[in-house]
């Protein structure tokens, strides 16, 4: 029930919670604290991405690894940077007032699984005991299945956002 004499700021309190002027100030303080923490997290994520690139470069320059191993290291570290940047973009979207989205987390999961698949593939190139080789192949199959599930989830997420085409309307690529 609206009271024309009510001069309180902010949204009405949920049912069962009395609205007090202090609640609006407390909510504003909590929101400011949340934004402050999110800005700190953003800077930390950028610093982490730069640090990963710096350590990758240092490892490649100093390391006594073969050319193929260098390529795998570079690929794995760049994928890790992509994960960090995807989380950074998610935080930035939230700071800009956007809602938390499922899609970036699915993408991070896909990239992380690809990193693990690369790691297993590299380990499979090294001769080991047959039992350990079977374990690595099982691990590879589980990662591949997980990647398939996440890619399916990503496709479903994107499909669910599509707007239905009204009946009788031609699709853009139809003549």
pLDDT in tens, 125-140: 877 788 888 888 999 9
What is the pTM for the complete model shown?
A: 0.63
Domain assignment present for 44: yes
Pick 73 or 143 by higher pLDDT: 143
Number of separate domains in the chain: 1
Domain assignment present for 170: no
Residues found in the chain: 175
Domain assignment present for 9: no
Q: Range of 150's domain?
A: 21-161
pLDDT of residue 97: 82
pLDDT of residue 5: 46
DSSP letter at 17 equals S
Domain assignment present for 166: no
Assess whether pLDDT exceeds 70 at residue 165.
Answer: no
Task: Return mean pLDDT, the chain.
Answer: 81
The stretches of the chain forming alpha helices (DSSP H) are 21-62, 67-95, 103-124, 130-161
Domain assignment present for 67: yes
Domain assignment present for 43: yes
30-78: per-residue pLDDT in tens? 989 988 999 999 999 999 999 999 999 998 888 777 777 788 788 888 9
CB distance 134 to 124 below 8 Å: no
Assess whether pLDDT exceeds 80 at residue 17.
Answer: no
pLDDT of residue 102: 81
Domain assignment present for 77: yes
Domain assignment present for 169: no
Least confident of 10-14, 106-110, 129-133: 10-14
Minimal CA–CA distance to 109: which of 157, 64, 72?
157
Burial level of 69, CB count in 10 A (0-12/13-18/19+)?
middle
């Amino acid at each position: 029930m609206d009271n024309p004499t009510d001069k309180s700021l902010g949204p009405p309190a949920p049912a069962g919670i009395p609205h007090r002027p202090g609640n609006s100030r407390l909510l504003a303080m909590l929101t400011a604290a949340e934004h402050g923490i999110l800005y700190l997290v953003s800077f930390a994520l950028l610093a982490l991405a730069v640090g990963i690139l710096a350590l990758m470069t240092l490892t490649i320059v100093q390391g006594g690894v073969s050319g193929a191993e260098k390529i795998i290291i570079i690929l794995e570290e760049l994928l890790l940077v992509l994960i960090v940047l995807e989380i950074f973009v998610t935080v930035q979207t939230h700071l800009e007032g956007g809602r938390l989205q499922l899609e970036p987390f699915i993408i991070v999961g896909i990239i992380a699984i690809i990193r693990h698949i690369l790691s297993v593939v590299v380990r499979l190139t090294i001769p080991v005991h047959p039992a350990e080789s079977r374990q690595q192949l099982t691990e590879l199959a589980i990662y591949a299945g997980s990647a398939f599930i996440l890619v399916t989830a990503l496709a479903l997420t994107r499909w669910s956002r599509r707007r239905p085409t009204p009946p009788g309307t031609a699709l853009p690529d139809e003549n």
